[in-house]
Structure 1
């Protein structure tokens, strides 16, 4: 509890450490959520962080591949990545930009680095869709860095709000990503040394924090670097930093509470639906 306000502070219920992995055509990354089936946080299916200044670790990118039944979110911290899909959508992801793609019934897309050297750093998050939306038409939101809502608190904490709504110091902030079924909150938080920030986080949402720079605490618990720290229930969350700056993601959404059957890039509710997706892909009907 936070005392007189009656607000319930969230804490860390589970830590899912990032493990070294690779995907696409050999892109090296750290996978936390989704490394095994029991390491999901409904509605989040997978979280990868990629970070390297060695082009051999990322240059081959992600050649054309299919998806059905969920959404992919790519948030670029540093670097340039080009997205193309079968719908003719195309977007250049720049540092600070985000691509929120709803695969729905089906999409075939590719992501290719647009740099030959330098740092490539960012996240890809997979967000499940409820059964009623799994076969909706594919859609794509390319959010330029300038569209991400930024706010600096009176204590010097810098927020970049990609999705959702936050009210801080009497200011209501609304992220640019709209129309997402699970009503997600996605915020990038940069803490200066010896800082503290308390954010409202509606009861009923499931979520996690991912610390990727420095050292930080959540309440009286220390966050683990390069790990998804699943949150307990509550209606607010407090982050603190020590002698050095820290940076983390806070991500939350409405849990779906439905069966999840995944086969590679297809995420449905039943084995039969997966088999249908495989037939549709084989027969060239995935995106019809």
Structure 2
């Protein structure tokens, strides 16, 4: 088996979005080929209500799918098709914008005022960009939660892993979206399909991801919980790790363990024309979408 090399490790960047929501952006509005089919990833975590309560008022989407995963607090959502709902802690929503939708997302904190969640944008291939919009809302209890003998815990949000399949299906990027917790000092390897682009996002604790240049693992420098780990390679809170090609990802958890998302998907490899939440293949298609927004024909009638 070949270990995926670490192409880049970077911290997410504080960003203001929506009506003044303070969040951290790991990637987005840069080179879309880097993590094709994924376009953007936001970490909206805050314990100051005035920094998130104004939320994300009505705005359009076309040509993409959005994946919202809530860890704490709630997100109330509504759209131009009449859908309404509430995402709570541990819930997931996969929205296929397709031909076009107007929606809003309004975060609410828990009893302590904390709000935490993630949103990932996945591109749609040209053949599906004008498909009918749809939602998949999944409750926390319906997401498989697998615990290994060493205490490693994996929530299978999307895709198949360790014999369990996540409840979201029919996604164009055929992604794998895992919420992984590795106990202190434990070294763990996770298989990832060779033909998928992959990234990890650390959001609790710290861990060192082995590089292909060290096939036996991580350079030995400091002992943590009876195991050796290269402390220089430790990735902590709000860190994105972008991987090259290979068959597996290996992580060594730090002294407080590590929790991260491991996300992979099949690249679409098509031209990308991007205007905010509208992602098409050509600038002509972008201009058409803008004209339709202006003249009120952006939302297509359901067939």
Q: What TM-score does the superposition give when structure 1 sets the normalisation length?
A: 0.93
Match of 1:132 in 2: 127
CA root-mean-square deviation: 1.5
Residue ranges of structure 2 left out of the alignment (5+ in a row):
211-217, 219-232
Which of the pair has more CA radius of gyration? 2
Q: How far is 1:154 from its partner?
A: 0.4
Correspondences of 1:11-160 after superposition (within 5 Å)? 11-37=5-31, 40-115=34-109, 118-160=113-155
Q: How far is 1:225 from its partner?
A: 3.4
- 4+ long deviations beyond 3 Å: 37-40, 114-117
Alignment check: 8 A CA contact 2:32 2:38 kept: no
- What secondary structure, in the 3-state scheme, does the structure 1 residue paired with 2:141 have? helix
- What secondary structure, in the 3-state scheme, does the structure 2 residue paired with 1:204 have? coil
Match of 2:280 in 1: 268
1:10 aligns with 2:22: no
Q: How far is 1:233 from its partner?
A: 0.6
Match of 2:183 in 1: 192
* Count of matched residue pairs: 278
Residue ranges of structure 1 left out of the alignment (5+ in a row):
1-6
More divergent stretch after superposition (172-181 vs 84-93): 84-93
Q: How far is 1:224 from its partner?
A: 5.0
Match of 2:252 in 1: 240
User: CA deviation digits over 1:13-72, x for unaligned, max 9?
Assistant: 122421110111101001121153468411110011011110011011111110000011
Cα distance in 2 for partners of 1:232, 1:71 equals 24
- What secondary structure, in the 3-state scheme, does the structure 1 residue paired with 2:269 have? coil
Alignment check: 8 A CA contact 1:33 1:44 kept: no
- What secondary structure, in the 3-state scheme, does the structure 2 residue paired with 1:244 have? strand
User: CA deviation digits over 1:160-214, x for unaligned, max 9?
Assistant: 11001112xxxx0101110001110000011111112211111110010001111
Match of 2:271 in 1: 259
Q: What TM-score does the superposition give when structure 2 sets the normalisation length?
A: 0.88
Query: Using a 3 Å threshold, how does the CA distance of structure 1 residues 115 and 51 change in structure 2: closer, same or farther?
Result: closer
Cα distance in 2 for partners of 1:26, 1:39 equals 29
